[in-house]
Amino acid sequence: MDFALTEEQLMVKDMARRLAETEIKPVAAELDENHEHPAEIVKKMGELKLMGIAVPEEYGGGGMDNVSYVLALIEISKACASTGAIMSVNNSLYCYPVMAYGTHEQKMKYLPPVAGGEKTGCYALTEAGAGSDPSGLLTSAIQDGDEWIINGEKKFITSGNVASYAVVAALTEKGKGYKGISSFVMDLEKTPGFKVGRVEEKLGINASGTAELIFENARVPVDGLLGNKSEGFKQMLTTLDGGRVGIASQAVGIGRAVLDEALEYAKVREQFGKPITSFQAIQWKLADMATELDAAELMTLRAAWLEDNGKPYEKAAAMAKMYASDVTMRAAVEGVQILGGYGYCKEYPMERHMRDAKICQIYEGTNEIMRLVIANNLIKGK
């Protein structure tokens, strides 16, 4: 078993780390405070092919593998979880389904602007009554000649406030529940009847917008159908598997930032005449953080490796997402505890890390749903 990274993977990791340290980390607190979308950073990431890492070069991407994607996303999320969320959605939830299910013409039209960072993509699945249960989806799509007419409202859409392109789930066969769902890819700037609704005020990842998408007799060209009609649910399941690898990577990145901050502070903070790293209580907290984060990163890399090698990775992705997000939340709580009063103040980034960490246990499938996915795979012998 070889744990060594390839030269290309190391290059991508180092490139992402340099960008994160020099251009993202210095402005992360300001972006969070101002709820500001990092447009220039996203553009720079696109130029470096980080917004479409696994997209073939033919379609404007980096032509690399998913292990490289994980390594880069960890570094970006370590500097700014919001930027990591934008990168994750762009790669996993927009580029992947277009790449996997689109025609050559759709790929040529809908991938280069997003994979290149010129435009941002999003994935519109969730609704007020359809989160963990997609059978509650109400958005409809009815064919009218050479167009589809779409009606409905999407909720909690990451990057929805700034996205120019979207993959949207809608019912094309009412009464069939999830079996009647189809996927559509569209240029939102050229979709009459579409508008952005409420932009949410959130606990964390504040530089990543979360918005309602409203479709009122929105007209989409007939060739906007992604893949075959009524295959949207199957597409969604596979897309979310990759998305969970992305969120696991984001969580690991946040956790790494927590550990670095806690360790740096503990080395210089003195109590009773000596640094608090000399106290066993602090040492054990740091040791647990480091061990669990290493395990989470290895689980995430395993899921990415399985995907790259064409092997089943649904269970591995769910395990990585669940474990990494739980581990990072624990680390963030302990990180605040190590910093004490300073950990509760915005002067230090630790409180931001704690706020950012929580969402990783919720989106791309709650961790309760992850446990169901894992259990179902075990029961079926997968």
The model's confidence at residue 175, banded by pLDDT at 50, 70 and 90, is confident
Q: What is the rounded average pLDDT for all residues in the chain?
A: 97
> Residue 31's pLDDT is what?
98
CATH superfamily to which 233-379 belongs: Butyryl-CoA Dehydrogenase, subunit A, domain 3 (1.20.140.10)
* Structure confidence by residue, pLDDT tens digits, 45-71: 999 999 999 999 999 999 999 999 999
For the stretch 352-369, pLDDT in tens is 999 999 999 999 999 999
Secondary-structure class of domain 7-115 per CATH: mainly alpha
Q: What digits encode the pLDDT tens for the residues 77-124?
A: 999 999 999 999 999 999 999 999 999 999 999 999 999 999 999 999
The contacts of residue 228 (CB under 8 Å, 6+ apart) are none
The answer to whether domain 121-230 has CATH 2.40.110.10 is yes
Mean pLDDT of 242-248: 97
Q: What percent of the chain has pLDDT over 90?
A: 96
- Report the pLDDT value the prediction gives residue 135, as an integer from 0 to 100: 80
Q: Is the Cβ–Cβ distance between 216 and 193 less than 8 Å?
A: yes
- Distance set, CA 145 to CA 57, 149, 168, 216, 220 (Å): 35, 10, 20, 18, 11
Q: What is the pLDDT of residue 223?
A: 95
What are the domain boundaries of the chain? 7-115, 121-230, 233-379
Distance between CA 114 and CA 54 in Å, rounded? 13
Q: Would residue 364 show up in a list of annotated catalytic residues for this protein?
A: yes
Active-site annotation holder among 231, 297, 364, 368: 364
pLDDT on residue 2: 86
